[in-house]
Structure 1
Amino acid sequence: MELDEVDFRLLELLSTDGRCTDVAMGEQLGLSSPAVARRRRILEENGIIAGYRAQLSLEQLGFSGVVIVMIELRSQAEQVLNEFEEEVVKCPSMSYCGFISGDTDFILIVHVSSLDEYDTIYRRELSNLPHVAKIRSSFILREVARRSTIPIVFDRARTGRGHPPR
């Protein structure tokens, strides 16, 4: 799908405020609300807009600690990787898991309310995952930045290099 400058401006507005109305966006974009609705629907149908959600404050909900967990497996055989992945998605405290390159096989983000809670999660969830050889944990001391969309997406759009790969 070829995106034009208006599409990128619409995406930028939605990434800032996912509840922004078609009327309000139309006013900012110089379009009618039906034109905005049509563009939004096309972006959704083409998978450019992947969804909408409420951004919860985990800290306000009692989860003030964020732990980056690096897991090394005993083997990288396909069956081992598949078995680990099938089980790690069942961990209720984990918000992100990625298979990565380098010495570590997987990186997880875990949310906790205390060090004691992390100890429990470590013992009940993480140490029981299949094929784990090593677990290393780092605690986030201070959040410096959090972005749902990276600004370079819109910078590239302004320079004409923002089209998704074909």
Structure 2
Amino acid sequence: MHETENNLVDPTDYRLLRELIRDGRASDVMLGERIHLSSTATARRRKILEENGVVAGYTAKLNMAKLGFSITAMVSIELSSQAEHVLNEFESAVILCPSMSFCSFVSGEVDFIMIVHVRSFEDYDRVYRRELSMLPHVARIRSSFLMREVAQRSVAPAAVNDQR
């Protein structure tokens, strides 16, 4: 993030971000070659992007099916109330659910959307009974099972395309 009129990420930073999305493990030398900068300049830009929170971290993408989790459920949860203490209690409890990989407070007809990975439908029944239904203030749980993954991105391409 470089000092410009609004502290915006510049076009070179966007090129670096696109390459980091493609390969977060690439060396600064390799990244520099791809974006036409020296490795020193690339390392400096990467460090600034990390320090400013634009790059929030690096992670490995796991193949859940190869780990035995062949079923993914999208779970919609409606709470009995939207009072602040109810939301806080639910959020504190859901963080402890070992089968949940994603949870977000959403607008619309439901309050939260979760993603749950399980080994089988019997395993989902266990998760439903021992984890989801035990969460505080739950009024309704609706589950949809993902049939086929069409696309998965960590970031939408539009987010890292410099529009200036």
Q: Give the TM-score taking structure 1 as reference length.
A: 0.92
Aligned counterparts, 1:1-166, within 5 A: 1-155=7-161, 157=162, 159-160=163-164
Instruction: Output the CA distance in 1 between the equivalents of 2:107 and 2:9.
Output: 32
RMSD: 0.9
Q: Secondary structure at the match of 2:153?
A: coil
Q: Give the TM-score taking structure 2 as reference length.
A: 0.93
The alpha-carbon deviation at position 42 of structure 1 amounts to 0.6
The alpha-carbon deviation at position 101 of structure 1 amounts to 1.1
**Count of residue pairs brought into register by the alignment:** 158
The alpha-carbon deviation at position 154 of structure 1 amounts to 2.8
Which 4+ residue blocks in structure 1 deviate beyond 3 angstroms?
none
CA deviation vs aligned residue, 1:11-35 (integer Å, no higher than 9, x gap): 0000000011111111122211111
Instruction: Output the CA distance in 1 between the equivalents of 2:31 and 2:110.
Output: 44
Q: Equivalent residue for 1:163?
A: none
Instruction: Output the CA distance in 2 between the equivalents of 1:44 and 1:66.
Output: 31
Q: Which runs of 5+ in 2 are unaligned?
A: 1-6
Q: Equivalent residue for 1:164?
A: none
